[in-house]
Amino acid sequence: MADRIITIGRQCGSGGHTIGRLLAQRLGLAFYDKEIVELTAAKTKFSPEFIQSHGEYFHSGALGHIIGYGTRFDGSYKTGSSLTDQLHQAQSEVILEVAAQGPCVIVGRCADNVLEGKYPTMNVFIYSDMSYKVERSVQEHGLDPDKAASILTRRDKARAHHYRFYTERKWGDMRNYDICLDSGRLGLERCVDLLADAYRRW
């Protein structure tokens, strides 16, 4: 079997977390999603709530823009100074630490970019159309059916902004990933089957 780390990017509501969890079970690999939050909290001064809300999302609200010294607004932003930069740095170190322990599945958090050139990876992106994502979010997470689409869209925008900022790549652009699957069309179980096949064959 391949000695690779599987990274999973995903649209909100697409089932990427569930696919990752089932895939890790199937392949007998460690699984990291929210676990990254806990590990980052354990080694920093950041609270789990702050890590959860800022570790993958850029917010348009005032609280999201926690800017420190050295920040420029002319497009040549100098990272390394704001709280969110420090969080990204710490979170990336956690990702490298878990990767050093062997093959695993890591969901989100720019892991594809953090590991690039350091570990062999299989980079996956999971997406689907809005109707599927709304249906899942209402059923699985109890979102208000009338608000679900706008909530999911807003969260994905914040993820895209965060990913672009720290990787200088476009989130959800297939060129960043090895395999992209439409979970709504294929179904979650079939996605797990295909990704397990792909991993074993690699």
Q: Does 93 bind a second copy (CB under 8 A)?
A: no
Q: What is the DSSP letter of 174?
A: G
2 binds a second copy, rule: CB under 8 A:
no
Closest CB to a second copy among residues 46, 125: 125
Cβ distance 172 to 127 under 8 Å?
yes
Question: Quick one: which segment of 23-31, 38-46, 98-106, 179-187 binds a second copy (CB under 8 A)?
Answer: 179-187
H/E stretch holding 6:
strand 5-10
Which token pair is 159?
Answer: 């993820």
Query: H or E stretch including 109?
Result: none
Report whether 200 contacts 2 (CB < 8 A).
yes
Q: Are 148 and 137 in contact (CB under 8 A)?
A: yes
Selected from 35, 116, 135, 182, the binder of a second copy by CB under 8 A is: 182
Indicate which single residue of 6, 39, 181, 188 sits in contact with a second copy (rule: CB under 8 A).
181
Least Cβ distance, residue 49 to a second copy (angstroms): 32
Of the two residues 26 and 34, which places its CB atom closer to a second copy in the complex? 26
Closer to a second copy by CB, 151 or 179: give it: 179
Binding of residue 174 to a second copy (CB under 8 A): yes
Pairing of strands 5-10, 30-32: unpaired
Task: Give me the least distance between CB of 2 and a second copy, in Å please.
Answer: 11
How far CA 122 is from CA of 25, 99, 195, in Å, comes to 17, 13, 9
128 near 16, Cβ under 8 Å? no
Shortest separation between residue 182's beta carbon and a second copy, angstroms = 5
Structure token pair of residue 107: 């969901």
| AA identity, residue 137 | S
Is residue 180 a contact point for a second copy (CB under 8 A)?
A: yes
Gap between the terminal Cα atoms of the chain: 7
The binding track of 118-147 with respect to a second copy, each residue x by CB under 8 A or -, is: -------x-x-x------------------
- Assess 197 for contact with a second copy (CB under 8 A): yes
Instruction: Tell me which residues touch a second copy (CB under 8 A).
Output: 125, 127, 129, 172, 174-175, 177-182, 185-186, 190, 193-194, 197-198, 201-202
